């Protein structure tokens, strides 16, 4: 949508004044598989969510913003933010930053930035008390349950029980959503207000860092 919070707020305000709904291209909001993950979390099918890890490269704004959107969609606004390291991003202005999102009584979410010269992929790992969900670099979603650990009595381990290939149908679903909005049947799944929340969080990430330049 834009590269700065100020520009996003200005664009959003112009569209609001004109009465035009504005959809933003955070594609995973339109994928059934990612909606199913949210359902599993909300219905506690994997028990209490203990931790979430995102791996990404190619810049905090350019790439991580898409995964920040997922974190906000699944878990809401964090209570605290700490960024702890910085690596090469897609440009000198858009570095890749590692940071932690903390929630009172909720999971700890960690974003791990990868060096673009060495690795360029993204993964998500959601660990719960009764199960685990992992989105891997091959575009698959792995579902795990827990079972008794055969090596250590009284302990449990994760066991993969299903793997689904993500069907990247976001364009079709986004068109359908826009049509439903224009005909008064639905609201936007990825509206411009989400971008304001994302870039407010990116601002907090930049302000709450523990490394030195």
End-to-end CA distance of the chain: give it in Å, rounded. Answer: 28
Average pLDDT of the segment spanning 151-155 = 94
- The rounded distance, in Å, linking the Cα atoms of 193 and 190 is 8
Between the alpha carbon of residue 132 and those of residues 2, 61, 112, 154, the distances in Å are: 34, 28, 19, 19
Q: Give yes or no for residue 140 having a pLDDT over 80.
A: yes
Q: Give yes or no for residue 120 having a pLDDT over 70.
A: no
Instruction: Concatenate the DSSP letters of all residues of 56-105 into one string.
Output: E-S-IIIIIHHHHHHHHHHH-S-SEEEEEEEE--SSSSS-EEEEEEE-TT
Q: Are strands 123-128 and 140-148 parallel, antiparallel or unpaired?
A: unpaired
Instruction: Concatenate the DSSP letters of all residues of 4-46 into one string.
Output: SHHHHHHHHHHHHHHT---B---GGGG-HHHHHHHHHHHTTTT
- The rounded distance, in Å, linking the Cα atoms of 126 and 211 is 27
What is the structure's pLDDT at 51? 96
What is the structure's pLDDT at 105? 87
State pLDDT tens for residues 177-195: 999 999 999 999 999 999 9
Nearest to 28 by CA among 180, 190, 176: 190
**pTM for the whole thing?**
0.93
Report all structural domains of the chain as residue ranges with CATH numbers, in order of start.
25-168+192-207 (3.30.360.10)
Q: Hunting for tokens 């969609």 — which residue is that?
A: 73
What is the structure's pLDDT at 44? 96
- The rounded distance, in Å, linking the Cα atoms of 88 and 93 is 10
Average pLDDT of the segment spanning 68-88 = 96
What is the structure's pLDDT at 2? 81
State pLDDT tens for residues 9-61: 999 999 999 999 999 989 999 999 999 999 999 999 999 999 999 999 989 99
Q: Give yes or no for residue 213 having a pLDDT over 70.
A: no
């Amino acid at each position: 949508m834009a590269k700065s919070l100020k520009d996003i707020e200005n664009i959003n305000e112009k569209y609001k004044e004109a009465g035009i709904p504005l959809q933003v291209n955070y594609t995973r909001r339109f994928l059934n598989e990612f909606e199913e993950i949210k359902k599993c979390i909300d219905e506690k099918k994997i028990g209490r969510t203990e931790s979430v890890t995102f791996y990404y490269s190619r810049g905090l704004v350019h790439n991580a913003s898409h995964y920040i959107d997922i974190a906000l969609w699944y878990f809401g606004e964090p209570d605290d933010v700490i960024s702890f390291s910085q690596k090469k991003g897609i440009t000198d202005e858009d570095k890749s930053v590692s940071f932690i999102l903390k929630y009172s009584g909720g999971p700890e979410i960690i974003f791990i930035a990868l060096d673009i010269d060495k690795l360029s992929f993204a993964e998500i790992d959601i660990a719960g008390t009764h199960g685990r969900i992992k989105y891997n670099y091959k575009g698959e979603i792995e579902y795990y349950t827990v079972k008794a650990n055969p090596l250590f009595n009284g302990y449990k381990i994760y066991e993969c029980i299903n793997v689904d290939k993500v069907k990247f149908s976001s364009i079709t679903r986004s068109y359908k959503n826009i049509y439903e909005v224009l005909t008064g049947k639905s609201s936007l799944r990825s509206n411009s207000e989400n971008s304001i929340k994302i870039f407010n969080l990116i601002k907090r990430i930049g302000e709450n860092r523990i490394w030195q330049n």
